[in-house]
Structure 1
């Protein structure tokens, strides 16, 4: 049977539930379910009876960890056209390969995104990725999952400390003498990053920033600059949701005859390689992709070994990388 969730809903039984019902440790359940030595016949039977009552289904990846064999991780990405995802995928693949694990990737943008989420959950041993709230249940209820998210609870996750990042950006811009700091946000904002930027400005006694939202593309960054210059032409600094929008913003300001950084400073978020390929080179709040990948793989390993997802979370900070745009 299923056990009760936090909100009264049913959830699949876990290895910890079986251990509690059989009166043994989680490790003993693992050894009994995998028919390993050093477990008495009576204990093995008690564990199997408890598993049957609870309708517990052993995780096939956890069995591989015990018996040896390959583990496949599904990496869920928002949009492969955004270079953030290929850069992170490369690091994730490298960290997985160190354990002889495999990684498959699926792009969940577009109308059939939910179908692709549902499909990959049935084909892999664990999932890592950025998942919209409405799609998380498709995965977390079926397969061990590590979310790269700040707004998740009750699930293993790697979170990003955008609060410190936005404070670093504002401190730098204020130090440059900038006083009219705007935000180019992702579509369907305001995002958490925009809210944290506003809070960082308030701490400095700065006026609330202008906020323009745009599609998460280079073209979106250009469009956002056009809108920003119409609504708040006195802008002297812009913090962008990510580097993709920031690179578009650089082009938008150039088209408008506005000099970066002389007239307006621009800061992106993520620290992507594309920031060094434009002129002026992009100042950015860079995230350590290697650290994100390492944490994600470690959390997958912990999940497959039966650890409680509630206790599995890591945090990654950003570093302000100063280049030419701010």
Structure 2
């Protein structure tokens, strides 16, 4: 039979309550007593019953991660980062995927399954600031994404406009002037697409390069197929360009394949840069320049902030923007 807390108490010569206090890291215990209990735990190979501890504390030991399409490599890799960060706090992660429909997003947010979690990390997809009153769940909540700023909960986000501006400047510094903006969403101001288009335009204006609406390419979603289809349409129209600022890596990878099939060399004829620094960008041919948005830092800070709230921190909601960097690879190389 597996050793019990009673066995540990007998071997260490202490009460069961003392063993429980050591297991739960209670601070007011003599160090000699703590060491004796830990030695007994090690000798017996005792494993605390986490489920029972959670039941007594009123916690499940799990958090929910609500996020968009996991077929998008960025979100899949972000989920992995969140799970790694959560594990460092002894937490497991329950993943809920959003489909893109507003009503489903609200149902997921308010669903009963969220009540089984100690906290929620929620990457907003369709809601915006006018829906802030909908962000009302019975557990601590941290927001990701770009649609609800200065809202009712802590918010950890990407520097979308700044990152896209840096990506555009990266191409301008390499002498490119006809820059295609690939990935815009018609009429969007908030959200990643709207913010990245804003950063693109800021960089052009600062460099004295006129903005050309014919170089803004709209897509429905941000998968490889969308980037490929959009680039085929641009090439078919005979639009001239010598650089591409793709609003995510998947779009860039799809577009780059079409450029190569059309006989255009990357980067000699067209330099291209993406956004997200997903793993595949290191192995494409050529390797893809991109913006590293600080994904691991976003995951780490989101989990840290959520744990602080779960532990009772009371303070006004915080806005945290992760640092980003330009990752220069072969697709924008010069010389």
| Structure 1 residue corresponding to 2:246, chosen from 226, 234, 240 | 240
Structure 2: unaligned runs, 5 residues or longer = 1-52
For residue 123 of structure 1, report the CA deviation from its aligned partner.
3.1
Asked if 1:270 is matched to 2:276, the reply is: yes
Alpha carbons of 1:299 and 1:64: their partners in 2 closer, same or farther (altered >3 Å)? farther
Structure 1 distance, partners of 2:234, 2:132, is: 34
For residue 306 of structure 1, report the CA deviation from its aligned partner.
3.4
Structure 2 distance, partners of 1:219, 1:145, is: 34
Structure 2 distance, partners of 1:316, 1:126, is: 21
Structure 1 distance, partners of 2:326, 2:56, is: 42
TM-score (norm 2): 0.72
Q: Which residue of 1 aligns with 2:322?
A: 316
Q: Which residue of 2 aligns with 1:159?
A: 157
Asked if 1:197 is matched to 2:200, the reply is: yes
Q: Which residue of 1 aligns with 2:217?
A: 212
Asked if 1:140 is matched to 2:162, the reply is: no
Q: Which residue of 2 aligns with 1:258?
A: 264
SS of 1:128's partner is strand
Structure 1 distance, partners of 2:109, 2:248, is: 24
CA contact (8 A) 2:184 2:216 kept: no
Structure 2 distance, partners of 1:144, 1:133, is: 19
Structure 1 distance, partners of 2:232, 2:133, is: 39
Over aligned residue pairs, what C-alpha RMSD do you find? 2.5
Q: 1:170-214 deviations in whole A, cap 9, x for unaligned?
A: 222112110011211154545211112111211111121521121
For residue 230 of structure 1, report the CA deviation from its aligned partner.
4.5
Write 1 or 2 for the structure with the bigger share of strand: 1
CA contact (8 A) 2:155 2:317 kept: no
TM-score (norm 1): 0.73
CA contact (8 A) 1:193 1:241 kept: yes
SS of 1:147's partner is strand
Q: Which has the larger radius of gyration?
A: 2
| Structure 2 residue corresponding to 1:92, chosen from 66, 82, 89 | 82
**Bigger shift: residues 93-102 or 224-233:** 224-233
Structure 1: unaligned runs, 5 residues or longer = 1-62
Aligned length: 264
For residue 228 of structure 1, report the CA deviation from its aligned partner.
2.6
Q: Which residue of 2 aligns with 1:77?
A: 67
CA contact (8 A) 2:63 2:120 kept: yes
CA contact (8 A) 2:110 2:137 kept: no
Q: Which residue of 2 aligns with 1:185?
A: 183
